[in-house]
Amino acid sequence: MKKNRGCGRWIAIAVFSLVALFSVALCALALVYTRQRDEARAKFAPPTVFVTEPVAGASAPVGSYLGVAATATDSTPITHAQLWVNGQLVDTQGCDQPECSSPFYVHFDLQVADGPQMLFVRAVNTLGVIGQSMPIGIVGEPGPDEVFLAVPADPGETLVDIATAYETEPEALEELNPGLGDQELPEGTLVTVPAPPPVAPPPGQDEPSVGPAIPPSTSSPATPPGSAPVPMPSVPPLTLIDPLPLPVGPPPLAAVLPPFQPPAAPNNLQGQVEDCMVRLRWKDNAHNELRYEIWMAALSGASRLVDSLKPAPGGAVWVEFPAPRTGALSFWVEAVSVGGSQPSNIVWLEIDPACPTSAPTHLEVEARDMMVRGEYDRAYCYMSFERAPEQRLPRDDSAFIEVLGGRGDIATWASGSKKYAVPIPDDGALDLEGECWGWSGDMLDKLGSFMDTTISSQWDGTRLPLRGDGYEIGYAVREQGGESGLTTYEYEDPSIPPPYDLQEEPLPPGRWPWLDDREPPWRLLRWKWDGDESKIDHFDILLNGAPHGGTWHPDEREVPVPPPRQCDGRVRWEMSANNTAQDVRSPFSAPLEYDLPKCQSYVRVTFKEIRLEDTRDQLHYGCAKLQPYFRLSVNDVSEKFWGPNLFPPMKCGTYNFPDIIYGDDPLDHVFTVPLSTDPNAPHDVWVRTRFWDYDCWPDSDDPFGNHTHHMIWPNLKHAQDVVGCGYCGWSEMARAGTADTEIRYCIEVFPNPCYQVPTKMPRF
């Protein structure tokens, strides 16, 4: 028995040792695999190509020659560069040195055709790896009937030599260049010669690709805007996939770390648009690709990934998808493998403005959490996106971020109050800046400013930090909008029934008491739904096609919503039932639509606060108590409050007008003055305050707090542009014998495109 147990123990030790050695070997292979993969990616990284001339949107006369300059850089020497225009290869410039180098500078002379055109430059290094610039849009405009070139003379050349080289008559050059004669010209002399006709590209010329040689393609070039569709072959289309991760862990030992290579570049990309569907066709030259990626860019805009495709079987392949957006778009395809990626040529397609689009239409910026250093109990911020006017966080001027233990309570807000819709920046980078303020009891302090930039790869909803001197805000950016298509985030599941019977009605008083005093009043949105609540987790609300909040739970059938506007325009409510975990939603409900009444033009002035410093009377100085009464006026509309019994005693400090006004009407500090119904009529608005300190002696009341703000607007639009969503600010200090005062009030002009309360502005 002892002998048998001893044998079993040695067998176990041997097995354990073999497993340990095998694990060590696998770890070593994994490290070598990872290192070789990274080295291969660095080695086969594509050249970087920038077009330095012309600038995007440049125009030139039709038939003239436009210089196209580009710079290509790479760690591997570059052999040649190509100029492509409207999907066709028009010129190639090779390295003229025994050993090619990087950077590689090229210059092409492009004869300009009529109308808009798309061009790009691609470079190929000694390994056959392709890199290409972003597409550039130019426009050919009508010009002179005949085009001329200015040619520098080489040493020893005469007009006859130049005429022979440019296939023209010497007499014609003598007429164009009087005074040069028939003698030898000094080197560099500029000679005017007629421009030669454009040269068509060689037939069958195509871009090179990495990998085995491919027979020349006989397919037609890519379809420029406005031309006939390109017929597509009868081959199975590629299908969509989720992006594949890179392999992890070691390969089988039999493979022993095969060499990493980038895939062969796809070539002869062609495209067409029919019935708002984009169809792309290309030749698959790769045998080791993990996936294909479809990329697009608006002219002079940032590139965007449309979607990923499964590996192609080889030969001619195609894919079809809804138009991502409208206008002139460039598309290209990249083959992606573990060793890198290779692009196709770029095609240019024109999408009809009437087409529904699948690409995101805007960015949704959401505040998620906040951490504050210091003993603060409330905070608020002002945020600006892409240097647009600031927006308050939270939007309600009377609301604040409650801070407890250094953490701001943002997560419990209603979804609509912490999200902002921002147009997608053309440069692919979203700039944010602003500042935050904090209350500690009755003390208000500036917490500091912030500034940040997020790029398109970060627009995936992950948390990002926005840091100031004394705080950090967690926020997320996500692309939103567009109809169902390749780039939507939630896919429509027809098995989930849509909500129906949408109704909008006034908000019942007392149901949500914190919303009762909102201006303008909130509304109640009701609906019905007969589906299985276990299959969804919330409902989404759309207003005029844009996200407008939602519910927290699947059993809700009503929700308060801020009104879209009070007047002018059309309202369109829609809803869907959603399952966030599975990225699916129901079809949208039938819309609830109605037109708003015509807007009345008026200005609204709200007196907010008065700040008193150094109050004085005949007997006391510094912060003496005053028994004031006052007069507020906007144009000819005014209110007066008389006698010390209607106004509490005041001394140094800040007082809110709603608190100091004694009377039956709580809105006596708000003035609404109608404006002319003529949109082109000029408007003058006078805002005045007058205060007096009541004394017992007749006619001895001491005046103070005299403030006047005069606004002159030549027309209603100018008033709306200047005031914007509205602004609030403190007046300049008014010093008088009785008190030094500042007044804070807000001004809004209606119709107003924003229904939020005024945002912060500088002093006026």
Residue 508: CA count within 13 A, CB half-sphere: 6
User: Within this chain, do residues 590 and 694 fall inside the same structural domain, yes or no?
Assistant: no
Q: Which two tokens stand for residue 607?
A: 């007196």
- Please give the C-alpha separations between residue 181 and each of 156, 157, 163, in angstroms, as whole numbers: 14, 12, 13
Q: Are 575 and 499 in contact (CB under 8 A)?
A: yes
What is the tens place of the pLDDT at every residue in 250-260? 344 334 445 56
User: Within this chain, do residues 346 and 228 fall inside the same structural domain, yes or no?
Assistant: yes
As a whole number of angstroms, the distance between CA 116 and CA 501 comes to 48
As a whole number of angstroms, the distance between CA 696 and CA 253 comes to 104
Question: Is residue 205 very low, low, confident or very high in pLDDT (cuts 50, 70, 90)?
Answer: very low
pLDDT score recorded for residue 489: 29
**How remote is the C-alpha of 110 from its chain's centroid?**
33
User: Within this chain, do residues 184 and 283 fall inside the same structural domain, yes or no?
Assistant: no
Residue ending a domain, among 450, 480, 510, is: 480
Residue 106 burial (CB count, 10 A): 23
Range among 589-593, 612-616, 750-754 rated most confident? 589-593
User: Within this chain, do residues 717 and 623 fall inside the same structural domain, yes or no?
Assistant: yes
Range among 122-131, 259-268, 379-388, 670-679 rated most confident? 122-131
As a whole number of angstroms, the distance between CA 567 and CA 597 comes to 5
Instruction: Examine residue 639 and state whether it is found in any structural domain, yes or no.
Output: yes
Task: Using only the alpha carbons of the chain, give its radius of gyration.
Answer: 36
**How remote is the C-alpha of 481 from its chain's centroid?**
12
User: Within this chain, do residues 239 and 163 fall inside the same structural domain, yes or no?
Assistant: no
Q: Where is pLDDT greater, at 485 or 82? A: 82
Roughly how many angstroms between the first and final C-alpha of the chain, as a whole number?
A: 100
> Minimal CA–CA distance to 718: which of 674, 686, 685, 679?
679
| Cα dihedral 162, 165, 171, 172 in deg (nearest 10) | -100
Residues in a beta bridge with 267: 283
Q: Does 745 have pLDDT greater than 50? A: yes
Q: Are 210 and 291 in contact (CB under 8 A)?
A: no
User: Within this chain, do residues 460 and 567 fall inside the same structural domain, yes or no?
Assistant: no
pLDDT score recorded for residue 620: 58
Residues 6 or more apart whose Cβ sits within 8 Å of residue 453: 429, 430, 431, 432
Q: Does 242 have pLDDT greater than 50? A: no
pLDDT score recorded for residue 499: 93
Comparing 645-649, 651-655, 717-721, which segment has the lowest mean pLDDT?
645-649
Q: Does 528 have pLDDT greater than 90? A: yes
Range among 139-143, 364-368, 739-743 rated most confident? 739-743
Question: In total, how many domains does the chain have?
Answer: 5
As a whole number of angstroms, the distance between CA 44 and CA 337 comes to 11
As a whole number of angstroms, the distance between CA 253 and CA 22 comes to 11
User: Within this chain, do residues 586 and 606 fall inside the same structural domain, yes or no?
Assistant: no
Residue 680 burial (CB count, 10 A): 9
What is the tens place of the pLDDT at every residue in 16-66? 667 667 666 666 666 666 666 666 666 777 888 888 888 777 778 887 888
Say what percent of the chain tops pLDDT 70: 73
Question: Is residue 197 very low, low, confident or very high in pLDDT (cuts 50, 70, 90)?
Answer: low
Residue 737 burial (CB count, 10 A): 11
Q: Are 675 and 637 in contact (CB under 8 A)?
A: no
Q: For the whole prediction, is pTM greater than 0.95?
A: no
Instruction: Examine residue 586 and state whether it is found in any structural domain, yes or no.
Output: yes
Residue ending a domain, among 595, 616, 640, is: 595
As a whole number of angstroms, the distance between CA 136 and CA 54 comes to 8
Comparing 87-101, 119-133, 395-409, 748-762, which segment has the lowest mean pLDDT?
748-762
As a whole number of angstroms, the distance between CA 83 and CA 69 comes to 10
Instruction: Examine residue 405 and state whether it is found in any structural domain, yes or no.
Output: yes
> Minimal CA–CA distance to 405: which of 436, 377, 380?
377
As a whole number of angstroms, the distance between CA 80 and CA 49 comes to 12
Instruction: Examine residue 200 and state whether it is found in any structural domain, yes or no.
Output: no
Between CA 672 and CA 681, with CA 678 as vertex, the angle to 5 degrees is 85
Q: Are 409 and 393 in contact (CB under 8 A)?
A: no
Q: Does 529 have pLDDT greater than 90? A: yes
**How remote is the C-alpha of 334 from its chain's centroid?**
24
Q: Where is pLDDT greater, at 85 or 178? A: 85
Q: What average pLDDT does the segment 638-648 reach?
A: 60
Q: Give me the residue label for tokens 């819709």.
A: 421
Q: Are 462 and 454 in contact (CB under 8 A)?
A: no
SS3 309: strand
Q: What average pLDDT does the segment 425-432 reach?
A: 80
How does DSSP classify residue 645? G
Range among 161-170, 221-230, 404-413, 580-589 rated most confident? 161-170
Q: Which two tokens stand for residue 17?
A: 């040792």
Q: Does 486 have pLDDT greater than 50? A: no
Residue ending a domain, among 595, 621, 637, is: 595
Residues 6 or more apart whose Cβ sits within 8 Å of residue 614: 622, 623, 652, 739, 740
SS3 717: helix
Phi/psi at 528 (5° precision): -125, 155
User: Within this chain, do residues 379 and 476 fall inside the same structural domain, yes or no?
Assistant: yes
**Residue type, position 169, single letter:** E
As a whole number of angstroms, the distance between CA 221 and CA 269 comes to 8
Residue 36 burial (CB count, 10 A): 16
SS (H, E, C) 315-346: EEEEEEEECCCCEEEEEEEEEEECCEEEECCC
CATH number at residue 391: 2.60.40.150
DSSP notation for 412-432? TS-GGGSEEEEEPPTTSEEEE
Instruction: Examine residue 29 and state whether it is found in any structural domain, yes or no.
Output: no
As a whole number of angstroms, the distance between CA 485 and CA 480 comes to 12
Q: Where is pLDDT greater, at 200 or 33? A: 33
User: Within this chain, do residues 615 and 690 fall inside the same structural domain, yes or no?
Assistant: yes
- Please give the C-alpha separations between residue 464 and each of 12, 370, 447, 472, in angstroms, as whole numbers: 51, 12, 19, 10
pLDDT score recorded for residue 502: 93
Residues 6 or more apart whose Cβ sits within 8 Å of residue 467: 450, 452, 473
Instruction: Examine residue 738 and state whether it is found in any structural domain, yes or no.
Output: yes
pLDDT score recorded for residue 501: 93
Instruction: Examine residue 34 and state whether it is found in any structural domain, yes or no.
Output: no
pLDDT score recorded for residue 212: 32
Range of the domain at 127: 48-140+218-351
pLDDT score recorded for residue 527: 94
Q: Does 718 have pLDDT greater than 90? A: no
Question: Is residue 204 very low, low, confident or very high in pLDDT (cuts 50, 70, 90)?
Answer: very low
Q: What average pLDDT does the segment 320-333 reach?
A: 84
Residues 6 or more apart whose Cβ sits within 8 Å of residue 152: 187, 188, 189, 190, 191
What does pLDDT average to over the chain? 75
> Minimal CA–CA distance to 95: which of 66, 126, 127, 61?
126
What is the tens place of the pLDDT at every residue in 88-147? 888 888 877 767 777 888 888 888 888 888 889 988 888 888 888 888 888 887 755 555
User: Within this chain, do residues 495 and 554 fall inside the same structural domain, yes or no?
Assistant: yes
Question: Is residue 500 very low, low, confident or very high in pLDDT (cuts 50, 70, 90)?
Answer: very high
Q: What average pLDDT does the segment 671-682 reach?
A: 82
User: Within this chain, do residues 755 and 609 fall inside the same structural domain, yes or no?
Assistant: yes
How does DSSP classify residue 145? S
Comparing 109-113, 195-199, 309-313, which segment has the lowest mean pLDDT?
195-199
CATH number at residue 167: 3.10.350.10
Instruction: Examine residue 103 and state whether it is found in any structural domain, yes or no.
Output: yes
Question: Is residue 721 very low, low, confident or very high in pLDDT (cuts 50, 70, 90)?
Answer: confident
pLDDT score recorded for residue 547: 67
Residues in a beta bridge with 431: 453
SS3 175: helix
Range among 184-193, 319-328, 603-612 rated most confident? 603-612
As a whole number of angstroms, the distance between CA 263 and CA 281 comes to 18
User: Within this chain, do residues 259 and 239 fall inside the same structural domain, yes or no?
Assistant: yes
As a whole number of angstroms, the distance between CA 287 and CA 747 comes to 67
> Minimal CA–CA distance to 432: which of 476, 396, 471, 395?
476
Q: What average pLDDT does the segment 633-638 reach?
A: 79
CATH number at residue 502: 2.60.40.10
